[in-house]
Amino acid sequence: MKKQHSGRSKSRIRILALVVGALAVGTAAAPAPPVVGNWEGRLNAGGSSLRVVLHVTRDSDRKLRGTVDSPDQGATGIAISSISFKPPDLCFEIERLASSYDGKMNEDNSEIAGEWKQGGGSFALTFKCTSK
59: domain CATH number?
Answer: 2.40.128
Is 19 inside a domain boundary? no
Q: Is residue 69 pLDDT above 70, yes or no?
A: yes
The pTM of this model reads 0.77
Please compute the mean of the pLDDT values over residues 105-118 and round it to a whole number.
Answer: 97
In a domain, residue 51? The reply is yes
Asked whether residue 81 is assigned to any structural domain, the reply reads yes
d(CA 64, CA 85): 8
| All residues at 6 or more sequence positions from 69 whose CB lies less than 8 Å from its CB, including other chains | 52, 53, 55, 75, 76, 77, 78
Q: What range defines the domain where residue 123 resides?
A: 37-131
- Which pLDDT does position 18 carry in this prediction? 46
Q: How many domains does the chain have?
A: 1
Q: Which position has the higher pLDDT, 46 or 23? A: 46
Q: Flag whether 29 is in a domain.
A: no
Task: Look at residue 71 and tell me if it is in a domain.
Answer: yes
Q: Is 12 inside any structural domain?
A: no
| Closest by Cα among 84, 79, 37 to 57 | 37
If residue 18 lies in a helix (H) or strand (E), which one and from where to where?
Answer: helix 7-27
Which pLDDT band, with edges at 50, 70 and 90, does 7 fall under? Answer: low
CA distance 100 to 110: 21
Q: How many helices (H) and strands (E) does the chain have?
A: 1, 9
Q: For residue 4, is it within any domain?
A: no
Give the burial class of 60: count Cβ atoms within 10 A of its Cβ; 0-12 exposed, 13-18 middle, 19 or more buried.
exposed
SS3 48: strand
Is 58 within a domain?
yes
* Average predicted confidence (pLDDT) for the chain: 86
pLDDT, one tens digit per residue, over 79-99 is 999 999 999 999 999 999 999
